[in-house]
């Protein structure tokens, strides 16, 4: 037995103005910085009539949970071993522990034994009496209204004899993280303790509630999903600690102890899972650290899956996994925060402070979970105290992160607006170009008429005396006629829109058309323009002028981009889908981008050193599509290009 005199220490002397003034100042600073109310006098008075039993406890070694008090008191269950502090153990299956302690009351006989944490399944106190042993029972496995004293913790009222050692035995049962913190209080000190705890809890839950309201208001006004996700995290954290502190059992579900236990465990798993949700979003992990993002999502999924064990009875065995998940999540957060700092990204320092605060609180709690003796405040409330600072810093981090998102959206919208303005200017430029082309074609008609008139005059003056000039005049007349038709087609297309091609079809010999086009290029270039007709060709149903334009455009392009003196080939042959006309050159070829956009309207390859409006190949494609055919190209840089027109035999 360990005698423990319960003589109250000297009370605080209120006549010391200096110490009192500094005490109030310290309390105010704690209120502002750490959330501890400025109640220094009340705290000191509560301490004067309260005694913690840490270091005065003895524990029965071995498994003696099924033995009765008579056997335990007579030593039949084995010896008791002194505890250096509180009773502390980690997660595990259901266990029963016997504790013993001795006290000696010197000033008052009325005391209250208070046992924390609030989630002990069963607590049975045995007091010696004249007839043997008197048993007092409590715990969270019985309705709250069966407790002798209205307190979230298990409290036993005691009448201790003055001046005599008094030995008490306590049997505790619990399934899960097994800690026990015992303290003795006078009734008045107990009431002051409840007031002080109420103030602390009010400060904590009030802070979380205010932050929750602010973030919900921000979500309602800004419609940013991150605010909703952080609000969900705050709500889970609020509810978890409300259950953890025993307030859910005390005020909302006093008649459902088993339901309260399951809710507490479920809230714990979901709170851990919500850490991964907020951490991934605030750190923007999918963008900067996709592997860490996948790790956090996976850990969150595991924590959510563990929630199912609450209803299967295996939670006590899986609870340690939650500690490992939280450890890994915080490790991922530290890595991301350090990388943010190293790469000088915004929020790096603030997020690192947030993670370190959270790790500090969890570390204090984890010490007891690992079986390491610690204090009641550090074990039961370390995580809760640290969470106040954590959610405050995280709140500012979320606000800054949303500001970054909004700025990025504004930048994106501005870029889109600039792109729209640029596209509008390009459309205006194209309309201006189209107007210029239409005007140019219209003006071409005048010199064509002059050429036609001058040729007719020359033909009359010549009077047929030189037989060699007759075919030349015919060639000029034919060329002028074709140009006039092309101008008329172009003007009609400009009036009706370039997307519309109106054909005047007739049976057409493409071989004869190819020879005529080849003849128009004779003597105008230094290339070898070779025409090859492979086998007899069937007639096709098409517009000769438009097909002439399509073939002439391909030949003209080949001559532009082929080296001087090289060959440009024209090959015609009949195939199953129609007659094909292939124009090949040995020029500079096209890269992948140019090849993919070769037939786009108003687009030209860069760096090819040639002029043009970007309409030639587009017009070729439209002409062939209007005929029901197609055009394809094969090309590679430095290897030349080969364009193939496919003209169907029958009208489409």
pLDDT per residue as tens digits for the range 23-78: 444 444 444 444 444 343 444 344 457 888 988 899 988 766 678 899 999 888 88
Q: Cα separations (Å) of 410 from 225, 287, 593, 637?
A: 17, 19, 31, 41
Residue 11, exposed/middle/buried by CB under 10 A (0-12, 13-18, 19+)? exposed
Q: Does position 1 have pLDDT exceeding 60, yes or no?
A: no
pLDDT of residue 19: 41
- Work out the percent of the chain whose per-residue pLDDT is above 90: 34
pLDDT band at 446 (very low <50, low <70, confident <90, very high): low
Chain position carrying tokens 């310290």: 26
Q: What is the pLDDT averaged over residues 15-24?
A: 42
Q: Residues in the chain, how many?
A: 652
Residue 101, exposed/middle/buried by CB under 10 A (0-12, 13-18, 19+)? buried
Determine the distance from the C-alpha atom of residue 326 to the mean position of all C-alpha atoms in its chain, rounded to a whole number. Answer: 19
Q: What is the pLDDT averaged over residues 303-318?
A: 82
Q: What is the pLDDT averaged over residues 241-260?
A: 92
Q: ∠ CA 385-390-395 to the nearest 5 degrees?
A: 135
pLDDT of residue 276: 92
Contact 241, 207 (CB under 8 A): no
Q: Is the dihedral of CA 628, 634, 635, 639 positive or negative?
A: negative
Residue 105 DSSP symbol: B
pLDDT of residue 39: 41
Contact 609, 569 (CB under 8 A): no
pLDDT digits (tens, 9 = 90+) for 135-188: 999 998 889 988 889 999 999 999 988 888 899 999 998 877 778 899 999 999
Q: How would you classify the pairing of strands 528-534 and 567-575?
A: parallel
What's the rounded Cα separation, in Å, for the pair 383 and 490? 80
Which residues 6+ apart lie within 8 Å of 417 measured at CB? none
pLDDT of residue 634: 92
Residue 23: CB atoms within 10 A of its CB come to 18
pLDDT of residue 374: 64
What's the rounded Cα separation, in Å, for the pair 301 and 215? 25
Q: Which of these ranges, 238-247, 312-321, 570-579, 610-619, has the smallest mean pLDDT? A: 610-619
pLDDT of residue 69: 92
Reported as half-sphere exposure (CB side, CA atoms, 13 A), residue 265 has a value of 26
pLDDT digits (tens, 9 = 90+) for 332-364: 999 999 998 888 887 888 888 888 888 888 777
Q: How would you classify the pairing of strands 154-159 and 506-508?
A: unpaired
Closest to 133 measured CA to CA, from 103, 182, 105, 166: 166
pLDDT band at 14 (very low <50, low <70, confident <90, very high): very low
Between residues 541 and 8, which one has the greater pLDDT? Answer: 541
What's the rounded Cα separation, in Å, for the pair 201 and 35? 10
pLDDT of residue 501: 58
Average pLDDT, rounded, for the chain:
81
Residue 9 DSSP symbol: P
Q: Which of these ranges, 249-258, 293-302, 481-490, 618-627, has the smallest mean pLDDT? A: 481-490
pLDDT digits (tens, 9 = 90+) for 95-111: 888 999 999 888 888 99
- Domains assigned to the chain: 17-185 (2.60.40.2380), 228-413 (no CATH), 501-647 (3.30.565.10)
Contact 8, 107 (CB under 8 A): yes
pLDDT of residue 450: 65
Determine the distance from the C-alpha atom of residue 288 to the mean position of all C-alpha atoms in its chain, rounded to a whole number. Answer: 10
pLDDT of residue 256: 92
What are the E-state strand segments in 140-178? 154-159, 165-174
Cβ contacts of 224-227, under 8 Å, gap ≥ 24? 224/402, 224/405, 224/406, 226/281, 226/282, 226/398, 226/401, 226/402, 226/405, 227/398, 227/402
Contact 583, 574 (CB under 8 A): no
Between residues 16 and 352, which one has the greater pLDDT? Answer: 352
pLDDT digits (tens, 9 = 90+) for 185-199: 999 999 999 999 999
Which residues 6+ apart lie within 8 Å of 145 measured at CB? 254, 255
The helix (run of H) or strand (run of E) holding residue 247 is helix 247-247
């Amino acid at each position: 037995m360990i005698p423990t005199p319960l003589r109250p220490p000297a009370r605080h002397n209120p006549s010391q103005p200096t110490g009192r003034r500094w005490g109030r100042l310290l309390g105010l600073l704690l209120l502002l910085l750490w959330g501890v109310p400025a109640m220094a006098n009340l705290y000191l008075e509560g301490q004067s009539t309260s005694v913690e039993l840490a270091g005065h406890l003895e524990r029965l070694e071995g498994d003696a949970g099924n033995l009765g008090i008579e056997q335990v008191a007579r030593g039949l269950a084995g010896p008791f071993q002194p505890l250096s502090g509180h009773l502390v153990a980690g997660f595990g299956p259901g266990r029963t522990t016997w504790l013993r302690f001795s006290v000696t009351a010197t000033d008052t006989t009325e005391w209250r034994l208070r046992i924390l944490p609030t989630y002990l399944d069963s607590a049975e106190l045995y007091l010696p009496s004249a007839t043997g042993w008197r048993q007092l029972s409590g715990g969270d496995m019985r309705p709250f209204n069966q407790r002798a004293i209205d307190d979230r913790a298990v409290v036993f009222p005691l009448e201790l004899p003055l001046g005599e050692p008094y030995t008490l035995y306590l049997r505790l049962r619990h399934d899960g993280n097994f800690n026990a913190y015992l303290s003795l209080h006078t009734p008045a000190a107990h009431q002051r303790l409840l007031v002080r705890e109420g103030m602390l809890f009010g400060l904590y839950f009030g802070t979380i509630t205010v932050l929750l309201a602010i973030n919900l208001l921000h979500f309602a006004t800004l419609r940013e999903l991150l605010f909703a996700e952080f609000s969900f995290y705050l709500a889970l954290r609020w509810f978890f600690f409300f259950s953890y502190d025993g307030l859910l059992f005390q005020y909302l579900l006093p008649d459902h102890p088993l339901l309260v236990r399951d809710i507490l465990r479920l809230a714990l798993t979901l709170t851990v899972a919500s850490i991964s949700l907020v951490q991934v979003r605030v750190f923007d992990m999918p963008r900067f650290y996709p592997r860490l993002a996948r790790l956090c999502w996976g850990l969150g999924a595991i924590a959510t899956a563990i929630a199912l064990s609450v209803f299967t009875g295996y939670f006590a065995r899986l609870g340690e996994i939650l500690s490992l998940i939280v450890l890994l999540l915080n490790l991922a957060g530290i890595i991301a925060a350090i990388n943010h700092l190293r790469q000088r990204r915004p929020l790096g320092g603030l997020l690192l402070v947030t993670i370190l605060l959270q790790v500090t609180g969890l570390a204090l709690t984890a010490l007891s979970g690992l079986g390491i003796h610690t204090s009641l405040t550090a074990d039961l409330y370390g995580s809760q105290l640290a969470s106040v600072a954590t959610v405050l810093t995280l709140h500012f981090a979320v606000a800054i992160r949303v500001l970054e998102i909004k700025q990025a959206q504004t930048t994106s919208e501005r870029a889109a607006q600039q792109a729209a303005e640029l596209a509008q200017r390009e459309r205006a430029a194209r309309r201006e170009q189209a107007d210029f082309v239409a005007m140019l074609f219209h003006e071409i008609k005048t010199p064509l008429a002059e050429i036609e008139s001058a040729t007719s005059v020359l033909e009359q003056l010549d009077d047929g005396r030189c037989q060699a000039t007759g075919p030349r005049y015919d060639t000029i007349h034919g060329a002028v006629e074709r140009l006039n038709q092309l101008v008329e087609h172009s003007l009609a297309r400009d009036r009706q829109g370039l997307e519309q091609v109106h054909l005047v079809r007739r049976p057409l010999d493409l071989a004869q058309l190819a020879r005529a086009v080849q003849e128009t290029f004779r003597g105008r270039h230094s290339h070898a323009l070779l025409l090859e007709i492979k086998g007899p060709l069937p007639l096709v149903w098409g517009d000769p002028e438009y097909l002439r334009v399509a073939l002439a455009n391909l030949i003209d392009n080949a001559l532009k981009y082929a080296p001087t003196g090289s060959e440009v080939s024209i090959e015609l042959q009949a195939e199953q889908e129609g007659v094909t006309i292939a124009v090949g050159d040995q020029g500079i070829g096209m890269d992948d981008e140019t090849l993919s956009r070769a037939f786009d309207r108003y687009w030209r390859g860069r760096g090819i050193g040639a002029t043009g409006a970007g309409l030639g190949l587009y017009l070729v494609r439209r002409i062939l599509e209007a005929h029901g055919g197609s055009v394809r190209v094969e090309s590679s840089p430095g290897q030349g290009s080969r364009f193939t027109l496919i003209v169907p035999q029958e009208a489409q």
